[in-house]
Every structure is written in structure tokens, then in C-alpha cells.
Amino acid sequence: MKVIQLSATDDFTPGAMKRHFLVEDSPHFKIINFNLDAGVTFPVHAHDLDGELSIFVLEGDGFFLGADHMEMAAFPGDLLISEIREPHGVRAQTKMRILVTIAPPI
């Protein structure tokens, strides 16, 4: 059992996406905090694996991205649920912090 304070990972890399692994070694899930600078895109991608992921918007505004150039507005408190094999991504409009949970981990 451990407690992680996401206030401690509130740092950004100018023009890029910064990745903080919060749980690296669990066989059950992986939890990652990504901080995207304004305008940065986490490109749409997918993996041909069974599994599911959630993307929770901690701070900032942007868009959830999907197949066929689909975009859905993403605000703090919004939660995307997606199969790992479904195309998914994020585009930050402002500085944006997201929490990604992947089960099982890949």
C-alpha cells in the first residue's frame, strides 16, 4: 500500500509530453501520469491486445482522439474508457495533466 501525491508530479517539458510512471511493476495494471504542454498531441495509437484503459483528465482542457479523426472535448473530471485495441489519443489545448490506467499492463 502506498500513497502518491500527484501534486508532486506537476511538471512539464516545454513543447512535449512528460511521463511519470506511478506504478511500474504491477501485474494487474499500470498507472501513468502524463503532463502535456499546451498544443502537444499524444498521437492516436492502438495495440492488438486484450485489455482496457481509462484516461482521466486531472487538469487543463483538450480533446480525446479516436479513429477516423474523431475528437471529443476533454475537461477536468472527464474519463475516457477504451479498449486497448481501439485507437485512442489526446490533444492538449492548454497545459494538460492526465492519469492513464491500463489493465492488464502493456
Residue closer to a copy of itself (CB basis): 16 or 79: 79
Among all chains, which residue has been given the C-alpha cell 483528465? 57
| DSSP string for 57-74 | EEES-EEEE-GGG-EEEE
Residue closer to a copy of itself (CB basis): 18 or 104: 104
Contacts with a copy of itself, residue ranges (CB under 8 A): 1-7, 22-23, 26, 28-29, 31, 50-52, 54, 56, 58, 64, 66, 72, 74-75, 77-83, 86, 88, 99, 101, 103-104
Q: How many CA atoms lie within 13 A of 90 on its CB side?
A: 33
